[in-house]
Structure formats: C-alpha cells, structure tokens
Structure 1
C-alpha cells in the first residue's frame, strides 16, 4: 500500500474551500461550544454532553454507537467507495474547579469548569462531521469520529478502545488524528512535532514510619520528618544523575504531610508527587529507582518505608511521517504562517497516547490565545481564568476535515 504522504497533495483551491466551509459553520461551532461550557460534566459519565453531541449530529449520514461503560459517542461516516478508515478524536470532560472568567457563557455548575478546552474539541469535531458529510462523494473509505469522555485522569480512551472504537468502521483504522486547544499559542497556529509530544504521568506516594515521641526528646523517638525531607532532595539528585538528559524525566514532590502540633514528633510522614517521562525506557528506570532511593534513605534513618506508584497515561508519541503530514496539511489549508514545528515536547499528559500506541497518527496543538494578549502572559489551560479565542475554531474544523479528505481520497490504497 502506498502511504498518503507519498501522494501529491490536494489542490490548494480545494483546501481554501475547506477553510471557507469551516468558517461558514462557525455560528453552530460556537453555539455548541458555549452550550457545553455552561453545562460541564466530569469523568466517564457525561449524559448532558452526550445528548448535546447527538443533537448536533442529528440528520447527518452517520452510523452512531453509544458507549456501554461510558457515555462516549462513536460516529462513522462512510464514503462513496470502500477504502480504509481514519479516526478523528475529540474529548468531552471538564475539570473539578471553579470558573472565574466572567464570560457570559460561564459554567452554571459550581466547582466544575471546562478549563482545558474539551468543550471546544467536541464542537470542532461535530462541525468537522457536518463539513465532511457534504463531501461523502470524495471519500474512498470511512471516517470514525471519536467523542471521548474521561480524559482528565479517567482513561476514557482506553475504555473506548476496549469497546471497539478502532474497529468501528468494520476494520482497524489506519490513521488517527487529534487536536488540543492551547491558550499560550498564537490564535490559529497549528503546532506539532515528530516523536514524543507529551509525557507519561505516574503518581507516587511514600509513607515513612518511625516512632513518635515528645518534640523535646528526639533521641527517644525515630523521627520520620527528616527522613522524608532527605528523600525530597535525593529524588532530584536521582533524576540529574541517573536519567539521560536526552531522554528526560521530571519528578516533582507536590505534597508533604506530617505531624499534628508543635511539640509532638509524629509516627509517620508522607510525601507524594508526579513522575513525567517521554519514553517507556526512562519511565521504567524512574519507577525502579524511586523506591530504591526512598527505601535506602529510610533504612539510614531507622524508618520503615512503603512506596506506591500509580500508573497513569503513557507518553504521547507521534508517528514521524504523520506529524510531518499534519504540518504540511496545516500549511496548505491554513497558510504557512499557521504551521509550526514544536522545538520540544510538553510535559503534560494525554490519554490519546493509548490510541497512538496502536495506530500511526499525530496529535497537534491549536493556538487560541485571546486577541491583544501576549501568549506568554495568557491564562493557561487548567486556569480558572482561561479564555480561548473562538475565531481559532474554524482552523481546527478545517484541519480535521483536510486530514480525512486527504487520507481517504481515491488512490490512497492503490
């Protein structure tokens, strides 16, 4: 089979037409985004979000399947002629945090906010489904639209994979593409890179147990606090001396808990934090070294140590050819000024990584910094004050559509 990157690109005029079509859909894209933003939901069960998606897709020539273990939506658009399948993904869930944006469409749910832009992903993917439904005659194959709950720590992509999203068209999808909006990039800019683009995310906790006693008589106790403090520093040294700088890791202690009052040496102390790596090799190394460091220090201080590491998402790794392909498409669809190769990965994590472990594809960022704001100064993703420039949405819709049309044009599999 000849891969799509070896075929000539679509004519520029057709790409220009896609952006114009995406802009024509802007009112419905924004309306859906704002509806979802007002009614955010958490985790794997998002009934209102699912209902809004189904309403947005109503009347389109799609084969729709609802999730069993989650409120996911899988929609398949079949082209005029048979061919391979391509998957486009948008995540659906919000974050458990307050909103302080002052937007007219701000969250109506106390303590819940779409602070990572998943509402925008759903709206852009729904509009891409509308746009592509008007191009069925130009598709030699199928498009799978993956509306996924539970990205924020709930492994929603894995749930959908187990329920068959990658085979929803009747055969395994051959290419996948996902977008993530980003407040700290110039609005409309598409940024991606070859290889690792986001990190793995594992959580660790360490319980240090000594012997409690009076604060004035530490010699009669076994104090776990200095042992825990020594571990914090030693873990940083471990990273700088055991991990290859060309394949980096981040180990951050983000929680320290010990004691109840000033004159009591506690029996236990706890530290906890996060591990971020860009490869499974370094991930395995850190997960091996961290307990060894903590246990050794504990022994030196006469304390017992219990280390627990909770596996999170794996690294998000782009296929090299697919990343190059996305940048070329972005340049042709949106203009060369709106396609940029990232110099370095982001150490955040993303469960689209599970999809990219199984199918060649790419993940990219869509800039949406508000007008008149320096991207470096804009409120970031996961901020209670984050704003996204809605004008950027058309670029996302157009790129979703271009990825599918280019990959499924006649001749792709010849």
Structure 2
C-alpha cells in the first residue's frame, strides 16, 4: 500500500468544477435512496457467489434495476449485466463499473447479515454493486438533463478468473452503439470513512505469476555426484531473483516479487529429478511487465546451465497495471472535491500494489479508478482488517456517497464534453 496520501488542492478554475456545480445535488438525492441501497448490499452480503457464474447476484441486480429507463442485456459467457441509459441531449458515452463477485473466505465478522455459505464479500464488491444500482437510479431520474449515454457495467469475476476481459469481448464498451469515451470505477478500502483517494498515472499494480522448474537427474541422497541435483539451482535462483529486481529495474518503476511456493522431492534420502518455484510479481508499467520475464528467463537458463540442469519457464499476466488517464484522474479529483469538499479528497503520492481487472477497461478507454474509504466508526482505520481478511468490515453508510460520486462523475463528464468550445 502507499504511504499516507497527500491532500488534493481544490481546483475551482477547472472545467470539471463548473460541470460538477451545474449538476443535480446527487449527494442529497442519494441519501433518500440510502435505506434501499443498504438493504440491497446486505442481501448481497448474505449470499456471496464466486467467479463468473453469479446467477443469484445477477437476478438481484436485474430486480433492483426494474422500472428504470435502461436498455439491459446479460452476458453470454458470464452472468454479467450491462445497462444503457440514454440522455435526452446529445453527447458522449461514459461507462461506470461495479464488480459483483465474492471470495472463498469463511466470514468471521459476527455481523447479523454475515455470510454463512463459506464465501464472503471480503473485498466490498457487495457495496460496489449496490452503489452502481444507486448511480443508475440517480442518473435515470435526470435523463432529461443528461447529455449522451451512460453504460452501467455490472461485472462478475474480478477476483478471478477475470470478468472485465470477457465483458469487453462481448461488447460492453460499445453497448451504447458508440465506443465509450471515458470510464470510471470505485473500490472501497478501510480508512477514514467517506474520504476518497486516487492519483494520476499508475494507481494499482499489474499481477503476474512466475513459475520455474529445474530439471536434473534424480539419485540416492548419499551420492549427489552421480545425480544432477535440481535443488541447488532452485535455491540459487530464488535468491538471485531478489538481486535481479534491484539491479535490473529502476526504483522509480518498482517491481515487487514474492516467492510463495517451493516444491521438490518428498523422501529425505532421494535427490529429486526436478524442483520448482512459484511466485507473485507485481509491476507498475507495461515496460516492466514485458522486461521482467525476459530477464527472469535468462537468469533461470544461466543458473540451470551452470549446474548441468535445464529450466522450464512460465510467465502469466493475470491483470495489467491499473493506469489512470492523467486528465481523467485530475477531473475525478476536481469533481469529487467540488461535490464532497476538498477535505474529503486525497491525491495519493504512491500507487497501491494490489491489482484490479478494471485495468483491462482502462487499456481501451481513458478513465480513472478511485477508492472510497469505509471503515465503520467503531473500528480504528489504522488497525482495521484489510480487504480479503475474514474480519474486514465496511460501513454501508458510505453507499449514498458512493452512488452519488459515480453519478456526479458521469453527469459532469458528459456535460463538460458536450459544452460548446470557446
């Protein structure tokens, strides 16, 4: 995680500010929806589903959107929901995203609406879903004032196997008939409740998996000279990788490597024929994501050769880095400051090293991802359990502001983009 974010200065002269000022009072309107959104969130929280197959969650979302002036389609290869709102005025298309899936975590919060099915919304996706429903309701109430279109992207599978890429393949970015011009998404985190954080450029790391197996020739533990022991090159490689990270990559474009799996033989008196490692590699740019496997493979091959072994190399890119468009991130900071007050908006100094598959959307469309901090008032934000913990809790009192923030960004973006150019 990043260091404590620095406060974002207000930017009263920015175009986003004037657009946000002209918008409806979304925070006030969202407060009137709060009870319904909280009830929806808690219903989702009791029944988390995993991956790309979320039939009950999809059904709840469809029911929550019923009666709104939306063009709704569902996914073919996954249980996604895409809803399009068409404004009465001409203008661009903006996409808003909320993920819907949970995690295979046994909840230990003790909440009266806690999950009992062995899964848990331990990353707050239940809030993301309910908040996006709220944004759809807010913007639908103002469709006569809205310029352009809004696409609401209800996405499964963010925690794996990944739902953004298949939704893009099925046409979510073109759901309104024209390509989305901008995209925004929000994620809850522990922290001072009701405060927002984002930054220009890299916001979250790319997630990659490294696997290497060294192949030798097995033998008797008492006669290593008659074998090709793959364990020494494995150990040497794992240590050399850490040196490689500090010597091959700039500290200003950091790489985080964690070796999380080691595997060799079972019997203590047998030299195995192969030994393998696995690890997580986090990267913050496309350059490091491309360069790391090249250097890591060269290192594996050279160490294997020095020991008379061979190396089998595997590199898998799960999610690319989440890269905020600088202009759209600045627009997000300015708009949120105008709507909620500059004291509630933080411009982060450093990226977060977690990963997000909204990164696939931001590869295709300029936009911004941002965080809403949501620790309950009785929990110290400095010691609060983190996302993915069985103990993590989020205060659903932030739902109104979450919905309002998405609605405000969409409305302000399309208003600004549709304004006559002086």
TM-score (ref. length: structure 2):
0.93
Alignment of 1:131 onto 2:138: yes
1:364 pairs with one of 370, 377, 383: 370
1:6 matched residue in structure 2:
15
Distance 1:11 1:180, change over 3 A: closer
Task: Give 1:339-378 correspondences, 5 Å limit.
Answer: 339-378=345-384
Task: Verify the 8 A CA contact 2:72 2:84 in the aligned structure 1.
Answer: yes
**Residue 259 of structure 1 aligns with which residue?**
265
Q: Is the 8 A contact 2:92 2:417 kept in 1?
A: no
Q: What is the distance in 2 between the residues matched to 1:7 and 1:13?
A: 10
Aligned length, in residue pairs: 408
Alpha-carbon contact 1:138-1:409 (below 8 Å) kept = no
SS at structure 2 position matched to 1:382? coil
Gaps of 5+ in 2: 1-12
Residue 24 (structure 1) shift: 1.4
Residue 151 (structure 2) pairs with residue 151 (structure 1): no
Q: Does the 8 Å contact 1:138/1:410 carry over to 2? A: no
Residue number in structure 1 paired with 2:327: 321
Aligned to 2:349, what secondary structure does the other structure show? coil
Give the aligned partner of residue 36 of structure 1: 44
Work out the CA distance in 2 between the residues paired with 1:99 and 1:8.
41
Question: Are residue 234 (structure 1) and residue 243 (structure 2) matched?
Answer: no
Give the C-alpha shift of residue 374 in structure 1: 2.7
**Residues in 2 aligned to 1:300 and 1:390: alpha-carbon distance in whole angstroms:** 57
Q: Structure 1 residues 286 and 32, CA, compared in 2 at 3 Å: closer, same or farther?
A: same
For residues 90 and 75 of structure 1, what CA distance do their matches in structure 2 show?
A: 12
Q: Structure 1 residues 355, 410: closer, same or farther in 2, change over 3 A?
A: closer
Structure 1 position 253, deviation (Å) = 0.9
Distance 1:176 1:348 in 2: 20
Q: Cα deviations across residues 34-79 of structure 1 (Å, max 9, x unaligned)? A: 1111111111111101000000001111110111111110001111
2:114 maps to which of 94, 99, 106: 106
Contact 1:88 1:145 in 2 (8 A): yes
Cross-structure match for 1:196: 202
CA contact (8 A) 2:30 2:138 kept: yes
The question of 1:306 aligning with 2:312 is answered yes
CA deviation string 1:317-371 (max 9, x = no partner):
0111111111111112112111000110011111111111111110001101221
Deviates more, 1:297-306 or 1:71-80: 297-306
Write the distance in 2 (CA, Å) between the matches of 1:5 and 1:82.
23
Hey, what's the Cα distance between the residues in 2 that align with 1:62 and 1:250?
43
Does structure 1 residue 83 correspond to structure 2 residue 91?
yes
Residue in 1 that maps onto 2:53: 45
Q: In structure 1, how many angstroms separate the alpha carbons of the residues matched to 2:221 and 2:115? A: 48
Which residue does 2:255 correspond to in 1? 249
What's the secondary structure of 1:138's corresponding residue?
coil
Q: How far did 1:124 drift? A: 0.2
Question: Quick one: which of 16, 26, 47 aligns to 2:34?
Answer: 26
RMSD: 1.7
Question: Which one is further off, 328-337 or 40-49?
Answer: 328-337
User: Secondary structure, in 3 states, of the residue corresponding to 1:245?
Assistant: coil
In 2, Cα distance between the equivalents of 1:49 and 1:76? Answer: 19
Q: 1:375 and 1:285 mapped to 2: Cα distance?
A: 37
CA drift at 1:5? 5.8
Show CA shifts across 1:97-130 (max 9, x none): 22111111111312x2111111110000001111
- 8 A Cα contact 2:204 2:284, kept in partner: yes
Which stretch shifts more, 391-400 or 117-126? 391-400
Q: What does residue 163 of structure 1 align with?
A: 170
Show the counterpart of 1:288: 294
**Separation in 1, partners of 2:17, 2:338:** 12
Deviation of 1:6 after TM superposition, in Å, equals 3.5
CA contact (8 A) 2:23 2:408 kept: no
1:279/1:315 contact within 8 Å kept: yes
Task: Provide the secondary structure at the position in 1 that maps to 2:29.
Answer: helix
SS of 2:91's equivalent? strand
* Cα contact 1:5–1:321 (8 A) shared by 2: no
Structure 1 residue 14: deviation in Å? 5.2
User: Which residue is equivalent to 1:74?
Assistant: 82
